[in-house]
Amino acid sequence: MPGFLSSTVHTRPRVRDDMSVNHGAVAIITAPGTSVSPLPVGDPSSTFEVVAGLVTTGRHRAAVAVVYRPGSQPVTEQFFDDLAALLERLAVVRVPLFVTGDFNIRPDRDFHHADQLRSLLDAFGLTVGTSGPTHRLGGLLDLVAAAADVSLSVDDVDCSDQSLLRWPVVSDRLATLPVTVHTRSWRRLEIDTFRSRLTSSILCQPSSWPLDVDDAAAL
């Protein structure tokens, strides 16, 4: 739908019924000419926020999941269980998969949990792209994981203390070459004539079969 933005959003539930700041949500927003439709992600996770969508541009489609794990919460085994459940749901989607977002796990400090996260993603065939610091104060908080290596660029933006991650994606499928196939017109096959000729052929006369294996295979 050219001229319009397409998006899917997971809003953050309010803990208070007032107009206090709730710090938004996670969302997938696409450019004009690109569409996105929601993908089911199962029961709401207790350890992170997530939104997933099937993004289509031209003849190319990909599944994208955006994850946010609050940095104010400790990294627990429940987080990895919830993430594994999400990846199991997305693994059945037969298109390229990109898992990205703010995991709030510092690979330059929290080596144990960073290795655990990479091992989990690797178990689903996903590799974390390499990049520089993604926060204005330093540190790798935002990640992009995909089945193929991704070349990330990190851009500073004025509206956030976290950087913008960008990576190229091939958006055109290779053209399928035409194949010419010659077949018989089976509708015109005369069954009686075919049966008569087959019966009279050497294929139906075992006593006439050659003893040599190669000669027999040539029949």
Confidence (pLDDT) at 77: 94
Confidence (pLDDT) at 173: 53
CB-neighbour burial class of residue 52 (10 A; exposed 0-12, middle 13-18, buried 19+): buried
φ and ψ at 3, to 5 degrees? 95, -5
Q: How far apart are the C-alpha atoms of 116 and 122, rounded to whole Å?
A: 10
Confidence (pLDDT) at 81: 94
Cβ atoms 175, 138 nearer than 8 A: no
Identify the H or E element spanning 191.
helix 191-200
To the question of domain 6-166 being in CATH 3.40.47.10, the answer is no
Confidence (pLDDT) at 2: 35
Amino acid at 176: T
Domain residue extents for the chain: 6-166, 189-218
Helical spans, DSSP H, in 2-110? 77-90
Amino acid at 190: E
pLDDT tens-digit profile, the chain (219 residues): 333 344 455 555 555 566 565 566 788 888 888 888 989 888 877 899 999 999 988 888 889 999 999 888 899 999 999 999 999 999 888 888 999 888 888 877 888 998 999 999 999 999 887 666 666 656 666 788 888 877 766 767 676 766 677 777 766 555 567 888 888 787 888 888 888 988 888 888 888 888 887 877 776
Q: How far apart are the C-alpha atoms of 64 and 52, rounded to whole Å?
A: 6
CA separation, residue 188 to residues 117, 180, 184, 196, 198 (Å): 63, 21, 9, 16, 17
CA 170, 139, 46, 14 dihedral sign is negative
- The model carries a pTM of 0.65
